[in-house]
Amino acid sequence: MKKSALFAAICVPAFLAAAPLAAKTLVYCSEGSPENFYPGVNTTGTSFDASEQIYNRIVEFERGGTKVNPSLAEKWDVSADGTVYTFHLRKNVKWHSNKNFKPTRNMNADDIVFMFERQWKEDNPYFKVTSPNHSYFSDMGMPKLLKSVEKVDDSTVRVTLNQPEAPFLANLAMMWASVQSKEYADAMLKAGTPEKIDQEPIGTGPFSLVQYQKDAIIRYKAFPEYWAGKAKLDDLVFSITPDASVRWAKLQKGECHVMPYPNPADLEAMKKDTNVQILEQPGLNIGYLAYQTTKKPFDDVRVRKAFNMAMNKKAIVDAVFLGSGVPAKNPIPPSMWSYNDSVKEDEYNPDAAKKLLAEAGYPNGLETDLWAMPVQRPYNPNARRIAELMQADLAKIGVKAEIKSFEWGEYRKRAQAGEHQMAQLGWTGDNGDPDNFLHTLLGCASAQSASGSNIAKWCYKPFDDLVTKAKVTTDQAERTKLYEQAQVIFKEQAPWFTVAHAVQLKPVRKEVVDFKLSPFGRHTFYGVDLKGK
Amino acid sequence: MLRFILTRVSLVIPTFIGITLLAFFLIRLVPGDPIETLAGERGIDPARHEQLRKEYGFDKPVLVQYGIYLGRVLQGDLGKSMITQEPVLSEFSALFPATIELALCAILFALLIGLPAGILAAIRRNSIFDHGVMGISLTGYSMPIFWWGLILILVFSVQLDLTPVSGRIDVLYYIEPVTGFLLIDTLLSDEEGAFWSAVKHLILPTIVLGTVPLAVIARMTRSAMLEVLGEDYIRTAKAKGLSRFRVVALHALRNALIPVVTVIGLQIGVLFTGAILTETIFSWPGVGKWLIDAIFRRDYPVLQGGALLLGVVVMGVNLLVDLTYGLINPRIRHNR
Amino acid sequence: MTAETMEAPAVAAPTATPPHPLREFWGYFSANHGAVAGLVIIIAVVLVALLADVLAPHSPYVTDTSIALKPPFWQEGGSLAYPLGTDPIGRDILSRLIYGARLSLLIGIMVVTISIVVGTVLGLVAGFFRGLTEIFIMRLMDIILTLPSLLLAIVIVAVLGPGLMNSMLAVALVILPHYVRLARAAVITETSKDYVMAARVSGAGTTRLMFKEVLPNCTAPLIVQASLGISTAILDAAALGFLGLGAQPPSPEWGTMLADAREFVLRAWWVVTFPGLAILVTVLAFNLLGDGLRDALDPKLKR
């Protein structure tokens, strides 16, 4: 045995180029290990990507878009008052199998009910398995919204809400609502190893899990009986590679086909490589610097305006995003409906800024702090570097800003408590609705709550009235008008220095066919093909 | 003899308890918690946060928590990772072979080069070769290995394209983990070329991790050899007309090796420190990288368990070195 | 990385026949070319650190995004105005390295001072009082030694919060056991000697004995250990900086500079190469010096 391997080692390196697996194998250089394979308790894109291939949801976003399509539910009816949803499930949807479990039945209403109850009912035996922290289920307001979830028959489920909720279907298309097998769950509970269902997952999705080695590899196989037809790829491999430069080196060598989150520093080289194309899509995000508007000196709008004029946004975005971001003037991204392009950007003008600052009573400048996240975020590749550039710009108008940072969880908590004077943060949209930005990040309710996301602590009545009204309005044209107005007020009052909208860039090798970028940053490999094999 | 072993082993117990204390309390002082860290931008509602803390037992008095923890540890239960919910012990045992494989290769590399270099330097004391070996080994000893790793990647992987950039093996090989040591597992599998791929992936990390031990071993061997070569019995042997080779190989080397072996044993702690950096640079899926990730994610159980297990490994190796030393050298056994 | 017990220096006995101790010392020391080279480099680094304001062509903090990532002057696109190139936000690398020398020296000296003072006191106490005190102190040191030093340092920094000062404290703590062990061993050897007995008989108090009689006699190994310790301290602090836990940007600490620019490694080799070289050269110099000092002070090798 040893001899043959040595022989192979010496004599056949030439064969290495040809894949040892003859099948169509796509390698995705992912950025990290998933926490587990149960998206109900996950919050990170890394974990969602790993589960995405395995599970289906009742309804799903179309690949590459935000439109909601049927999935496990073939069709559904909504009652006239918008509170009762009846889902008609697809028949003949098969489950994967693994060494612990062979399914005896197809997907049915029990599985759908289990999906809800696992996250909803504290007495469900699975409520606490893996983690009792069902983040998205709570964040989307499900505990308050759901009245009942009933199985009508094997292929019909009725969900009753306490009040109508327009984005309900879109919320069900999110990863938290992935459907697991009730039969598998029962079997594992009986065997005394309930956590197995989240570690050795069984799903209905296009790929089944073959092997997972922490920090090294996730290996999937196309599920031949997938209800929508077998995937074009035979095998899918996630090669876990945390370092962005290393991911790029691997992509260059052809060791992987798709990579997420490229290093802005490597973009130039990527554009020159003829084997690689860079897919590009504006992201649903915003990176910003929030002024603590309830504290001196930022309770004065003149100071905030002066700061906005003192910082050279274009230079900052160019230097730090290196082409992977566009300067932001509004709190919502340009690709979102109701984006108000007529809003005028504050001009970079240190002299005017200095004058305005003097007018506000600070002729000799002032001292303040400037917080920077310790981690890279999708909307901000390097908060510290941005802080250093802001610090240098502010020094020119006599402002001495001290850069501060904390451990990431601590950072957000302190910022939400309003301990900062200036703090960077950002947001990535969940469902494509402006409410998810304007009301969540800038509304009064969120400013007053200790765990609210409005870290500028900005509560301005005229603005709040607009976004609250838009929340309960159903007519989209009407809502658009309200949101456009809100953006004008936002700019006048300047609670934030809007930094940039990060562009989603995905370097992909040329042989990859039909990979589509998801506006939510997901990576879906069903429907993707490889050329020339 | 038995008494000697028993005394030695009993000394380990207070150290063990000390490590659990240190691991538990120091880590409890770290600000932030995984619930907050994982919540990201969206944050978490304080009431729910409180409920989760209760769930994890953080609401009990710290001493009670420690008691519970120690009790479980003695039963072999190190708790579960707060991030993945997998038992700490099973995560550790899945990743530890990768670290061991790397560490053993590094030690082997250091020995294969360090020993001969040290011996030759001692024999040719003050020659150019001697000065060269000493200069290079002192440079190796002074090396910031995180930088060394980057430079090697830059030259050998990126510029020359000779070695892979990171990882343990080409992902296209499907290797069923049997022992966890890829060099063995690839030989057991029938994937052609897999073994070679694993070897290629090992080269750079081995060099990086082996650099400091190599320097230490070369210097130690040289000075131990010099000392032995100056002893009377060697002079006698020389005077008896034995060949230079016999003197060095049979008499001097054997005696010089004792302190060298001890040093290698003591290097194990140093090796783990190096492994943390090496694994970070090469994305090597071992325990070093696992612990660093745990720090940044505030995964207490993993940190506590991981530090404890590494401490036990180091303690075990030290004990082994101690005992072997006692066996080889009876003077030590009786003196204490 | 804290392996400075490579060749544990034996305790220096008072030299018996003096030409003049200092001159004799210099005679041995200057015969060792490596040690002299180390000394010269260290003096140069100290001078650079002291004269940073004069020597540095630019401010280490001023950013200018229009000249970001300029290569060193000998490469195409480089210029003599920025001899070693610029970093991702247009700061002059040479100037940052020059100011960084201050930090590295500060780290080395502070860390070693802290651990020598604390370590010697603990070691003396352990050596003198023996019994429970000794067991307690030495067990504690064993525990510290058992955990991988970098891991322990990282946890301490995580507790205290990242920063230059805290990383210095963390490194000081993890190298502490070496000094404690050294001081204790020295005390035990010395206390069994006649002069201590004599002093004790003549009624000298314990504290007086510790600091007046014994301590001066174990300074030689401590000096050697200190000079080797500085190099360990600089390396460990840089490693913390590399992991993002040491000095924080925009501080020009070398390890931090390396970490800060790591993502540019494929595109601009100089942002990573020079800070690493600076660390290597400085650490090597202290190790050379330490070696030379040991050889000169250790009578055992003076044959």
Here the CATH number for the domain that contains residue A68 is 3.90.76.10
Q: What is the pLDDT of residue A18?
A: 41
Q: Least CB-CB distance to C65: which of A245, A319, A391?
A: A319
Are residues A232 and A157 part of one domain? Answer: no
Could you give the domains of chain B? 12-74 (no CATH), 97-335 (1.10.3720.10)
Q: What is the DSSP string of A402-456?
A: EEE---HHHHHHHHHTT--SEEEEEEE-SSS-THHHHHHHHSHHHHHSTT-S-TT
Nearest chain C Cα to B297, which residue? C158
Give the A:B interface size as CB pairs under 8 Å. 163
Q: What is the pLDDT of residue A90?
A: 95
Q: Give chain B's mean pLDDT.
A: 84
Are residues A156 and A63 part of one domain? Answer: yes
Q: What is the pLDDT of residue A60?
A: 93
Is residue A17 included in any domain, yes or no? Answer: no
pLDDT in tens, C45-75: 999 999 999 999 999 988 887 888 889 999 8
Q: How far is CA A507 from CA A127, A319, B313, in A?
A: 39, 20, 43
Cis peptide before A125 (omega within 30 of 0): no
Mean pLDDT of B7-22: 84
Q: What is the pLDDT of residue C11?
A: 44
Burial class (CB in 10 A: 0-12, 13-18, 19+), A100: middle
Are residues A164 and A68 part of one domain? Answer: yes
Give the contacts of A20 (CB within 8 A, at least 6 positions apart): B172, B173, B191, B192, B193, B194
pLDDT in tens, A203-253: 999 999 999 998 889 999 999 999 999 999 999 999 998 888 889 988 988
Determine the Cα–Cα distance for residues C185 and C222; give it in Å rounded to an integer. 12
pLDDT at A105 over 90: yes
H or E element at residue A501: strand A496-509
CA-nearest of C263, B3, B121 to A243 is C263
Residue B295 touches chain C, beta carbons under 8 Å? yes
pLDDT at A20 over 80: no
B332 band by pLDDT with thresholds 50, 70 and 90: low
Is residue A44 included in any domain, yes or no? Answer: no
pLDDT at B169 over 90: no
Tokens of A469: 């009204």
Q: What is the pLDDT of residue A249?
A: 86
Q: Give chain A's mean pLDDT.
A: 89
Determine the Cα–Cα distance for residues B219 and C11; give it in Å rounded to an integer. 20
Cis peptide before A164 (omega within 30 of 0): no
Is residue A247 included in any domain, yes or no? Answer: yes
Tokens of A167: 């984005």
Domain holding A497, by residue range, is: 285-504
Nearest chain C Cα to B298, which residue? C158
Burial class (CB in 10 A: 0-12, 13-18, 19+), A35: buried
pLDDT at A317 over 80: yes
pLDDT at B94 over 60: yes
CA-nearest of A353, A364, A362 to A310 is A353
Residue A245 touches chain C, beta carbons under 8 Å? yes
* Of A157, A178, A202, the domain-final residue: A202
Interchain contact, A388 vs C249, CB within 8 Å? yes
**Above pLDDT 70, what percent of chain C?**
92
Are residues A471 and A379 part of one domain? Answer: yes
* Interface test mutation site (partner C, options A31, A348, A370, A385, max chain C beta carbons within 10 A): A385
Interchain contact, B310 vs C148, CB within 8 Å? yes
Tokens of A528: 């993707």
Determine the Cα–Cα distance for residues C222 and C120; give it in Å rounded to an integer. 9
Q: Least CB-CB distance to B270: which of C1, C258, C280?
A: C1
When mean pLDDT is compared across A6-20, A263-277, A298-312, C49-63, the lowest value belongs to A6-20
Determine the Cα–Cα distance for residues A489 and B133; give it in Å rounded to an integer. 72
Interchain contact, C148 vs B15, CB within 8 Å? no
Are residues A307 and A236 part of one domain? Answer: no
Q: What is the pLDDT of residue A483?
A: 94
Domain count across chain A: 3
Beta-strand relationship, A235-239 and A217-222: antiparallel
Q: What is the pLDDT of residue A533?
A: 52
- The C-alpha of A309 sits at a distance from chain B's nearest C-alpha, in angstroms, of 27
When mean pLDDT is compared across A176-185, B189-198, C36-45, the lowest value belongs to B189-198
CA-nearest of C85, C24, C78 to C57 is C85
pLDDT in tens, B219-240: 989 988 888 887 777 777 777 7
Burial class (CB in 10 A: 0-12, 13-18, 19+), C109: middle
CA-nearest of A380, A479, A378 to A438 is A479
Cβ atoms of A220 and A23 within 8 Å: the answer is no
CATH code of A326's domain: 3.10.105.10
Interchain contact, C248 vs A389, CB within 8 Å? no
Highest mean pLDDT among A485-499, B234-248, C55-69: A485-499
* Of A202, A231, A247, the domain-final residue: A202
B329 band by pLDDT with thresholds 50, 70 and 90: low
Q: What is the CATH number of domain C26-60+67-297?
A: 1.10.3720.10
Interchain contact, A265 vs C162, CB within 8 Å? no
pLDDT at A431 over 80: no
Are residues A185 and A217 part of one domain? Answer: no
Is residue A12 included in any domain, yes or no? Answer: no
What Rg, from alpha-carbon coordinates, does chain A have? 25
Interchain contact, A1 vs B86, CB within 8 Å? no
pLDDT at B45 over 80: no
Determine the Cα–Cα distance for residues B285 and B289; give it in Å rounded to an integer. 7
What is the dihedral sign for C-alpha A518, A520, A526, A532?
A: positive
CA-nearest of B49, B297, B55, B54 to A138 is B49
Chains with 3+ CB–CB pairs under 8 A to B are A, C
B315, B320, B321, B327 alpha-carbon torsion, rounded to 10°: 150
Give the A:C interface size as CB pairs under 8 Å. 57
More confidently predicted of B332 and B5 = B5
Interchain contact, C149 vs B273, CB within 8 Å? yes
CATH code of A221's domain: 3.40.190.10
Residue C155 touches chain A, beta carbons under 8 Å? no
A276 band by pLDDT with thresholds 50, 70 and 90: very high
What residue type is assigned to position C1 of the chain? M
**Above pLDDT 70, what percent of chain A?**
95
Q: CB-hemisphere CA count at 13 Å for A171?
A: 15
Is residue A313 included in any domain, yes or no? Answer: yes
Is residue A492 included in any domain, yes or no? Answer: yes
pLDDT at B35 over 80: no
pLDDT in tens, A432-455: 788 889 988 999 988 887 777 899
Determine the Cα–Cα distance for residues B60 and B63; give it in Å rounded to an integer. 8
A15 band by pLDDT with thresholds 50, 70 and 90: very low
CB atoms within 10 A of CB C52: 18
pLDDT in tens, A334-384: 988 899 999 999 999 999 999 999 999 999 989 999 999 888 888 998 898
Ramachandran region of residue B43, left (φ > 0), alpha (ψ -120 to 50) or beta? left
Compute φ and ψ for B140, nearest 5 degrees. Answer: -60, -40
Q: Least CB-CB distance to B144: which of C238, C287, C288?
A: C238
CA-nearest of A90, A95, A97 to A72 is A90
More confidently predicted of C9 and C118 = C118
Burial class (CB in 10 A: 0-12, 13-18, 19+), B329: exposed
Q: Tell me how many degrees the CA angle B323-C300-C12 measures, rounded to the nearest 5.
A: 90
Question: Facing residues of A289 across strands?
Answer: A424, A497
C17 band by pLDDT with thresholds 50, 70 and 90: low
C214 band by pLDDT with thresholds 50, 70 and 90: confident
- Which residues of chain B does C242 touch, with a Cβ-Cβ cutoff of 8 Å? 144, 146-147, 277
Interchain contact, A245 vs C265, CB within 8 Å? yes
pLDDT at C301 over 50: no
pLDDT in tens, B254-263: 777 777 877 7
- Which residues of chain C does B291 touch, with a Cβ-Cβ cutoff of 8 Å? 151
Residue B18 touches chain C, beta carbons under 8 Å? yes
pLDDT at A531 over 90: no
Tokens of C182: 């050294």
Are residues A229 and A197 part of one domain? Answer: no
Are residues A475 and A334 part of one domain? Answer: yes
Q: What is the pLDDT of residue B295?
A: 86
Extended beta strands in A181-296, E state: 207-213, 217-222, 235-239, 276-282, 285-291
Q: Least CB-CB distance to A319: which of C61, C89, C268?
A: C89
Cβ atoms of A317 and A382 within 8 Å: the answer is no
- Which residues of chain B does A209 touch, with a Cβ-Cβ cutoff of 8 Å? none
pLDDT in tens, A21-64: 458 999 999 998 998 999 998 888 899 999 999 999 999 999 98
A298 band by pLDDT with thresholds 50, 70 and 90: very high
- The C-alpha of A80 sits at a distance from chain B's nearest C-alpha, in angstroms, of 33
Is residue A296 included in any domain, yes or no? Answer: yes
Cβ atoms of A309 and A349 within 8 Å: the answer is yes
Determine the Cα–Cα distance for residues A233 and C54; give it in Å rounded to an integer. 64
Interchain contact, B276 vs C151, CB within 8 Å? yes
Question: Facing residues of B303 across strands?
Answer: none
Q: What is the pLDDT of residue A140?
A: 79
Cβ atoms of A499 and A288 within 8 Å: the answer is yes
Residue with tokens 């730090």: A320
H or E element at residue B17: helix B2-29
pLDDT in tens, A450-461: 777 899 999 999
Interchain contact, B26 vs C156, CB within 8 Å? yes
Interchain contact, C146 vs B154, CB within 8 Å? no
Interchain contact, B266 vs C284, CB within 8 Å? no
Residue C113 touches chain A, beta carbons under 8 Å? no
Are residues A438 and A313 part of one domain? Answer: yes
Residue C276 touches chain B, beta carbons under 8 Å? yes
Chains with 3+ CB–CB pairs under 8 A to C are A, B
Cβ atoms of C84 and C72 within 8 Å: the answer is yes
Give the three-state DSSP class for C76: coil
pLDDT at C130 over 60: yes
For residue C92, give the DSSP letter. Answer: B
Q: Tell me how many degrees the CA angle A413-A415-A421 measures, rounded to the nearest 5.
A: 160
Q: What is the pLDDT of residue B330?
A: 58
CA-nearest of A98, A84, A109, A243 to A165 is A84
Cβ atoms of C58 and C91 within 8 Å: the answer is yes
Residue A315 touches chain C, beta carbons under 8 Å? yes
CA-nearest of A473, A394, A399, A27 to A236 is A27
CA B105 to chain centre: 11
